Each structure stands twice: as C-alpha cells, then as structure tokens.
Amino acid sequence: MESYLNQNFDVKAKHSSEEALEKWRNLCGVVKNPKRRFRFTANLSKRYEAAAMRRTNQEKLRIAVLVSKAAFQFISGVAPSDYTVPEEVKAAGYDICADELGSIVESHDVKKLKFHGGVDGLAGKLNASPTEGLSTTDADKLTQRQDLFGINKFAESELKSFWVFVWEALQDMTLMILGVCAFVSLIVGIATEGWPKGSHDGLGIVASILLVVFVTATSDYRQSLQFRDLDKEKKKITVQVTRNGFRQKLSIYDLLPGDIVHLAIGDQVPADGLFLSGFSVVIDESSLTGESEPVMVNAQNPFLLSGTKVQDGSCKMLITTVGMRTQWGKLMATLTEGGDDETPLQVKLNGVATIIGKIGLFFAVVTFAVLVQGMFMRKLSTGTHWIWSGDEALELLEYFAIAVTIVVVAVPEGLPLAVTLSLAFAMKKMMNDKALVRHLAACETMGSATTICSDKTGTLTTNHMTVVKSCICMKVQDVANKGSTLQSEIPESAVKLLIQSIFNNTGGEVVVNKHGKTEILGTPTETAILELGLSLGGNFQEERKSYKVIKVEPFNSTKKRMGVVIELPEGGSLRAHTKGASEIVLAACDKVVNSSGDVVPLDEESIKYLNVTINEFANEALRTLCLAYMDLENGFSPDEAIPASGFTCVGIVGIKDPVRPGVKESVELCRRAGITVRMVTGDNINTAKAIARECGILTDDGIAIEGPVFREKSQEELLELIPKIQVMARSSPMDKHTLVKQLRTTFDEVVAVTGDGTNDAPALHEADIGLAMGIAGTEVAKESADVIILDDNFSTIVTVAKWGRSVYINIQKFVQFQLTVNVVALIVNFSSACLTGSAPLTAVQLLWVNMIMDTLGALALATEPPNNELMKRLPVGRRGNFITNAMWRNILGQSVYQFIVIWFLQAKGKSMFGLDGPDSTLMLNTLIFNCFVFCQVFNEISSREMEEIDVFKEILDNYVFVVVIGATVFFQIIIIECLGTFASTTPLTIVQWIFSIIIGFLGMPIAAGLKMIPV
C-alpha cells in the first residue's frame, strides 16, 4: 500500500506541481461526498483564473510604462484636461475623485499627474499634508472620506452558515441512497403493517441519517470558524504612518487616500500611491505582474502599486487608491478562492480512503449478491419465487440498505478530513503559543524536522540591545557604567563626528509621540546606536535639519554595512558616513581618529589594537559595529556608489543582546529529540561562538565556520564538512540558501529555517519549513514563510516542532483506530451474509458505528494535545512510512480478536445465554452489536498510544476525548434500551451488559500484549 501511495498520492509540502495536484484528484474513484472530501483542497480552476489576471496586469502595466515614457517627451506644455470634479466630491471639500486617482496610478499617467500639480498638488486636493499627513480629529470628515474613497479592505468570501454545512453533508451519495431506501421502506411498511408499526425501520434509518448529518455539519462548521479566525490573524499587518503630525503604527486596513506611509526594505506596499521622498527605492512587482525585473521608483517614476514589495531603499509615499479599487484587491479576491495547496497527509489519506473504498464497494456488491441469492434459494425451495409479499420486499430493501451501509462504513471519508480537523485544532492552539501557521502543510512537516537553522539576533537572543562598551578615539570605555559622563571623556571634535554619523547614517528615527514623549523608532540595533547618540548630548531633529542628505545606501546582508552622503553647511562639501560589521568597515579604513581627536594614518600597530578590541568585545558575546567617515571630492554624483575604501575610523561599539531565558533548555530538548540546531548569523565569528556556547549549540565536536570560507569549499569538502557545522558566522543570504539546499538534497534532511530580512526570502522559500519572525521580520520574509513566530523566540520554534509531531502521531492513532473498525465491520457483515444468509449489524447500527469511528473518533483522537514524551522520539524524517509496521500489528491483532469474539457469539451465543423463542435472534444480534461497540470504545482508549502500554496517562487533560467516550457510551445505552423499534435492538439483561463491557475491556490487555511484539 505504501509504495502505491508514494507513487500516486505523493505531493510535496511546498511548491507542488499542478500535474501532481491534478493526478491524485483523478485517481480518487470512490468518493461518497466530493463537496466535503475536497473542501480543504486547492481550487485549481480559480488558480488558473488568477494566473490569467496576472498576465493581463503585466500587459497593462507594460503598456502604461511605455505610454508614460512617451508622454515624458511631450509633456512640456500640458494641455488642460477635460476632468471635472463630481459635485458630491466638491461638496465634501475635495478636488479629485477616487476614479481619477485610481486611473493616475494604475495607468502610470504622467500627464494627468502633472495636470493635478504633481504629488504635492494631489495631496492638497485630498486635504492632506505631505509632512503632517491626514487630520483625523473630525470623525464625520473621516467617515465622509471613507465613503467617497473607500476603505483598504479586500472582498472576502462570506462565511458559510451552519445550514450550508448541513446541506453539504447531505450531498453524501450513500446517505442519499439510504434516504431513498428509508422512503421506500416507509411506504411498503405502512402499506403492509399499517401506522406506526410499519414505519419503524424507515424512520430509524431517517433518524440515523439526520444524526450523522448534524454531527458532521457541526464538526465541519466549527473547523471553518477556526480557519476564519486564523485567516484574520494572518492578515494583521501594520505600517508606519504619519497622521495628525505624528509618526505612528497603523493597521493597513485603516489606511485612507491622503495618508503618508513610511516604507523600508522588505515592506509590502499597502495600497496604490505615489512616491514623495526617499532614496534608492527598488520595487519587486512580480507578485502583481509576474515580471521578475525590479523597478526603480523615484520622482520621475513615482507610481507605487499595492501588493508589490520594497526590495531596496526607503521612502515616504502618499496613498491614493485603496481596497478593491486597486489591481491587487481584484487579484486577491481571485487568489483567495484558489485556496491553499493540500497537505501531503491529506493527499496520502485520500489515497488510503480510495483503496479501502474500492475494497468496500466490492465487498458490498458481493454481500448484496449473496444475501439476495440466499433469499431466492429459500423461495425456490418453497416454490414461492413468483409470489412476493410486502415483508419480503422489505427484506430485499433491508439487504440493499445493508450493502449501501457497508459502503458507508468501508469508505473512510473521514480520513483526509481528520487531518484538517487535527491541523485546525493544532493551529488554533499554536496561535495561543505565539506561532501563526500560514500554510497547513507546515504544521505536519514540522513534526518530521531533523534540522533547525536559526538566526542569532532576536531568536536566540532577546533583541533588546544596548551599547555597553566602546572604543572611540582608540580608547576602550565601559559605556554601561559611564552613562552621560562619556561625552566629557571624548574630544569635542570626535563627539561632533559621532553625533553626525549616528543621526544621519541611520534607518531609525527619534520622534515625539502624541503623548509628548521622545520615542526611538527602528531596529533594535539602530535603537541602541541612537540611544548612544542621545546620551552624547545630540539632538536628532536639529542634526537632520543641519545637513542635506545626498545619497543613502541602506543596510543589506550582502555588504554588511550601510552608508550615507551628506552636504556639510560650511562650503557645501560632501561627507560619507558608513557603519557595519567591524572587520569589514575597519578593512575599508586607512586613517583613524586618535585620543586627542586628530586624524592619523592607520598603522599596523593601530590595526592590531583595534582587531584585538573587536575580538575582546566579541568574546564577551557583544555585537560589534564600526563607525567611519570620509570627505568626498566635489565631483561626487548621487548616481555613483559610495566609495568602498579610504575611510577614517571614528570608533567601535559593543552592543549587548542577552540570550533569551529558556533557550539553552530548548536546544537540549531538540538534541534529545534528534533535531540538530545550527546557528546561521551575519555576526562576527567570535560573538557567534560565544552565544552558541552559551545556548548549548556549539559542542566540542562541532565546527564554527565563516560564510566566505564556506563559499570557497568544493562539493567533496562540503560533504564532509556540513554534518559537523554548528555555527556559520558572517554568512550572506546565499550562504544560508546553499546550506539549506545541501542539507535538503544531499543529506535528505527535513530543514526548518528562521529568517527576518528580505534577503532571507530565498532560504525560507527553499526550506521545508520557513519560520519568519513576527516582530523583527519584514513583510517579504513573512510572505515567504510557512510559520510566523510571533514572539521571535527560539522556544516557540520547539513548541511548533512538538505540535507538528503531535499532529502526525494523532492522525496515525486515528487511522489505526478507523482501519480496525473498517476491517472488522466489513469482514463480519460479509462473512455472516455468506455463511448464514443474514447480516448481524443492521443499516441503522452500522450508521451509528460509522459515526463513532468517523466524526467522533476524529474529534477524540485527532485533538490529543502534545506531551513531553513526543520530544524523546527520533523524528520521522523525509522517508518515514505513514502507516508503520507497529500500526499494522495493532490493526490486525485487534481485528482478529474482535472477529473471533463476534463469530463465537454468532455460533455459540444462543446456547451460552440460554436464548430461545421468537426474539432469540434479535437478542443475540443486539448483544453482538453491543459487544462490537464496546470493543471500539476500549480500542479507542488503547489507540491513544501506539507503542506505550500505559494508555491512561494524562487522559483527563484531553476533555474532548473524555466527553466523546462518555457520549458514545451514553448514546449506546439509549439505543439499546430505548430505541429498539428504530435500531432493531432489544433491552439487555444486566449480565449481558457486564459481558459486553468485559469483552470490550479484554481488547485492552490484548492491545498491551500486541505492543510487546517487536516489529
């Protein structure tokens, strides 16, 4: 079975081809209810629609760009446009309508933009200020703006009501056929036996069908609500906005035309708009157009489209068009209908359901044929084969109902849906544990992870950074203890240089918030450096006003430094400032500021002193940054790159970023669970090693390597080296990508990777599970990830691995339980029909058994919470069989026991309990039914553990399990004692009840004995 499944029902957890997705769909032959079975699979036709829309967008934008380029050449005398402002817009105090705004950006219409007075003119027409943003103090005005220009929300598919799920559950082909049987049974029964006696069989089947439908619909409806809640969480994105003169964080869904949004590298453009100011802005429009070539955005080409990503640079933009008026809004509406890819387990269990369904269908047909043949032979022997009574017609109908019900029980439709139920439950719980799962498949894949490649900053450390040591003007100082006295110990000229460098060469900002307090915005590293600048007596706003910024080169992981060129007020000369990885910036310096504040050449002795200082800081687990500057020649052009050498070193700072509490224990837990943790960081190798030792990642037999060294290794060397690598320092995003690819392809590992920056996207995409940081992560990183770690904590990653294992094992437990019921119910009814000419389990009884094993069984076993024992097992890895030998052992062992018990009762039951008279067969069949159900109840408890003998451990922690078992027993008593006329049962004596329970319970020691058999 496993090889057939791997051949035909094998899809990847990520990036499966359309062919693979189509293939398994075509192979699903026996499907009782396609609407329900394929509810959580991708809608391929909607995906093709979205791809066609992307191609249309690409063509539209290509033409728009060509037209705008042509328009540039003829723009000098812009002819007045025939645009007139609609009356309702004019009455509201605006000079432009939403449609005109939309057409300017969507069509890249330079002519229209010029006619409306450029970006500043449009801001004025929208009653917004390019510096202060929107004023939202007047609530009525705000509502009016929303009514006229729309809100930044996309059309979502409406939440299906409970009754839709009831209707979908009724689409089950076998239930429909049973419904028809019940209807015919009612008519024939009433015609022959009168009301109410003749209606009992028919009404019994109808009641069973309705019970199955409502329980199924309730379970499915609850699942859909869980997914809706998770979808809401996925869409929570905030951006930096200037409103009412203050910089603040705002949800992208609260944005309105006229808002001023601050974009940085890795952000997603939240709505259509226009570039106001910024540097080196490169936009990736592939998500919207499919075009891989990035686009430069500047004052000449100011158009920014919703859904595109900032690949480089930073800027301020004016929002013009929001929500469904944007191309992204229209594309998103189609994309969301396309749905997520189905997970490997869903597909595999669809395969299992298909195989067993075909077997069940065969047995059902044969059972019906055998029962009918037996009936004909009986009539032939009495010579009444041409004379049919109503009772005989009902008997024939009952045979047909039994055959159909065998299909109901034999086709395990619930298997693929149990995966979804388990994943939905796990995702909801993981949300509470600070992990947001973006793709269903990641949940189950994480359970098989064998390697975690983790970032250092913010994941293993707290990301609360402070400058604690510095080496400014060749003098090492303890900043943490000095505080404000540091300024007096540094020459005045050096302090001025430092403040100039810190406040101009930064991606952060110091602002006054609406409560009048000073607030530092930016990454933790930037915040630490800006705090140092403030402690040196600097004033951020004054410093920024004093100098004109000519060029900005934002930080990126490849260069490992950032730079700025400013124009000095005295004489208009230019100066470049740079900061970044200490050894890289220091290597670009040929001069240094000495202890008296003078610039002197950087000799061998000074270089050695500074390198020793860097290593000392690094060995204390400090992040080190070097700050340097150079005065540029007057001929420098903003189009040129900032020079790579010739700088003057001002100083080196050591930033403390403490290790997160609990990380060491989590790393040790991973090691015991067979998961290798590797640290991949851009930091100095000594810093990385110090932190890795503190976390327990770097051991005596492990290797720490630098990215540039790793890059130079040949494939043969990598084969030997990679298994030993525990730390990779000074790594570039491509080093991370190479390591992940090698681990996945050459070493067949299942790799989880953390990332926060834009450049991490390729590695996150390549990994089996991409983990993005919720706090420090950019939107691009989150978009490429499968799971978002909301608290950026390594311990949360271990929790995700634990939940992943829990999902995988829970589904295995459920499969084991369901296949046991399938096998026994099939063989009992089939063999009994063949040998005795009647089936001991009626249609109503089989529907009840189906509900126990399908919906209720899934609820009980697929929602088992994880325990610490899970992390003591080795991971399944990439090649593990889903239905293991241990599962087959348990299934076959239990099936044989249950089959023997039922056969013994059929053969010897009457004499054993002294049953005789007209009701003896009914009483025996009731006893068999009761024993069968109690076998399933106790087997469900045994299925809580596939290898462990103690199945009662922490059973009360899973209240769902306890409720399901309790409800099953309660309703079984009701069915036997009260619903005899409908369920073809009769009340049992106390001895028979005790016997049924003992027979069921005996399955538990047998299950324990089976677990001792090695496989």
pLDDT in tens, 413-457: 677 777 878 888 888 888 888 898 888 788 888 888 999 999 888
740 or 77, greater pLDDT = 740
Short-list 467, 434, 268, CA closest to 775:
434
- Give the other-Cβ count within 10 Å of 157's Cβ: 9
329 or 541, greater pLDDT = 541
How much is the average pLDDT of 831-850? 77
Q: What residue type is assigned to position 743 of the chain?
A: L
Report whether pLDDT(837) > 80. Answer: no
- Asked if residue 260 lies in contact with residue 316, where contact means CB atoms within 8 angstroms, the answer is yes
Instruction: Name the least confident of 140-144, 330-334, 520-524.
Output: 330-334
Q: What residue type is assigned to position 245 of the chain?
A: G
Reported as a pLDDT band with limits 50, 70 and 90, residue 462 is: confident
Q: What are φ and ψ of residue 172, in 5° steps? A: -65, 120
Task: Tell me the per-residue pLDDT of 244-256, one tens digit each, with 9 for 90 and over.
Answer: 888 888 898 999 9
Q: What pLDDT, on a 0 to 100 scale, did the predictor assign at position 76?
A: 45
Task: Tell me the per-residue pLDDT of 53-71, one tens digit each, with 9 for 90 and over.
Answer: 767 766 766 676 666 556 5
Rounded to whole angstroms, the Cα distance separating 1015 from 1009 reads: 13
592 in helix, strand or coil? strand
Rounded to whole angstroms, the Cα distance separating 503 from 140 reads: 40
Short-list 15, 146, 106, CA closest to 328:
106
Report whether pLDDT(74) > 60. Answer: no
**Residue 653 Cα distances to 475, 546, 627, 650, angstroms:** 11, 25, 8, 10
End-to-end CA distance of the chain: 17
Q: What pLDDT, on a 0 to 100 scale, did the predictor assign at position 30?
A: 62
Q: Which residues pair with 563 in a beta bridge?
A: 553, 578
Reported as a pLDDT band with limits 50, 70 and 90, residue 516 is: confident
Q: What pLDDT, on a 0 to 100 scale, did the predictor assign at position 775?
A: 81
Q: What is the DSSP annotation of 529-563? A: HHHHHHHTT--HHHHHHHSEEEEEEEEETTTTEEE
Q: Catalytic residue among 172, 220, 272, 455, which?
A: 455
Report whether pLDDT(547) > 60. Answer: yes
314 or 852, greater pLDDT = 314
- Give the other-Cβ count within 10 Å of 160's Cβ: 15
Burial environment of residue 192 by CB neighbours within 10 A (0 to 12, 13 to 18, 19 or more): middle
Instruction: Write down the number of H helices and E strands in the chain.
Output: 39, 26
617 or 485, greater pLDDT = 617
868 or 803, greater pLDDT = 803
329 in helix, strand or coil? helix
Rounded to whole angstroms, the Cα distance separating 334 from 56 reads: 14
Rounded to whole angstroms, the Cα distance separating 625 from 502 reads: 12
Reported as a pLDDT band with limits 50, 70 and 90, residue 564 is: very high
Which uninterrupted H or E stretch holds 589? Answer: strand 589-593
Rounded to whole angstroms, the Cα distance separating 226 from 429 reads: 10
Q: What pLDDT, on a 0 to 100 scale, did the predictor assign at position 647?
A: 95
Give the total residue count for the chain.
1015
Reported as a pLDDT band with limits 50, 70 and 90, residue 199 is: confident
Q: What residue type is assigned to position 793 of the chain?
A: N
Q: What pLDDT, on a 0 to 100 scale, did the predictor assign at position 78?
A: 46
Q: What is the DSSP annotation of 351-397? A: HHHHHHHHHHHHHHHHHHHHHHHHHHHHHHHHT-TT---HHHHHHHH
Q: What pLDDT, on a 0 to 100 scale, did the predictor assign at position 989?
A: 92
- Asked if residue 264 lies in contact with residue 33, where contact means CB atoms within 8 angstroms, the answer is no
Task: Tell me the per-residue pLDDT of 397-408, one tens digit each, with 9 for 90 and over.
Answer: 778 877 777 777
Report whether pLDDT(733) > 90. Answer: no
DSSP state of 419: H
Structure tokens, 43:
């809608």
- Give the other-Cβ count within 10 Å of 907's Cβ: 12
Structure tokens, 921:
């067969």
Reported as a pLDDT band with limits 50, 70 and 90, residue 77 is: very low
Q: What pLDDT, on a 0 to 100 scale, did the predictor assign at position 62?
A: 64
Report whether pLDDT(265) > 50. Answer: yes
Task: Tell me the per-residue pLDDT of 858-883, one tens digit each, with 9 for 90 and over.
Answer: 888 888 888 888 888 888 877 777 78
Locate tokens 């409103």: which residue?
243
**pTM strictly above 0.85:** no
Q: What pLDDT, on a 0 to 100 scale, did the predictor assign at position 824?
A: 87
Q: What pLDDT, on a 0 to 100 scale, did the predictor assign at position 605?
A: 92
410 or 716, greater pLDDT = 716
Largest alpha-carbon pair distance within the chain? 124
Rounded to whole angstroms, the Cα distance separating 406 from 203 reads: 19
Rounded to whole angstroms, the Cα distance separating 835 from 812 reads: 34
Calculate the CA 84 to chain-centre distance: 47
696 or 31, greater pLDDT = 696
Task: Tell me the per-residue pLDDT of 933-950, one tens digit each, with 9 for 90 and over.
Answer: 999 999 999 999 888 888
Report whether pLDDT(1) > 80. Answer: no
Structure tokens, 299:
């004052």
Strand 451-454 versus strand 676-680 pairing type: parallel
How much is the average pLDDT of 732-746? 89
Rounded to whole angstroms, the Cα distance separating 57 from 221 reads: 36
- Asked if residue 688 lies in contact with residue 679, where contact means CB atoms within 8 angstroms, the answer is yes
**Mean confidence (pLDDT) of the chain:** 84
Strand 303-304 versus strand 272-284 pairing type: antiparallel
Task: Tell me the per-residue pLDDT of 669-680, one tens digit each, with 9 for 90 and over.
Answer: 999 999 999 999
Q: How many CA atoms lie within 13 A of 82 on its CB side?
A: 0
Calculate the CA 899 to chain-centre distance: 43
Annotation marks residue 455 as catalytic: yes
Instruction: Name the least confident of 4-18, 367-381, 594-608, 912-926.
Output: 4-18
Report whether pLDDT(625) > 70. Answer: yes
- Asked if residue 541 lies in contact with residue 131, where contact means CB atoms within 8 angstroms, the answer is no
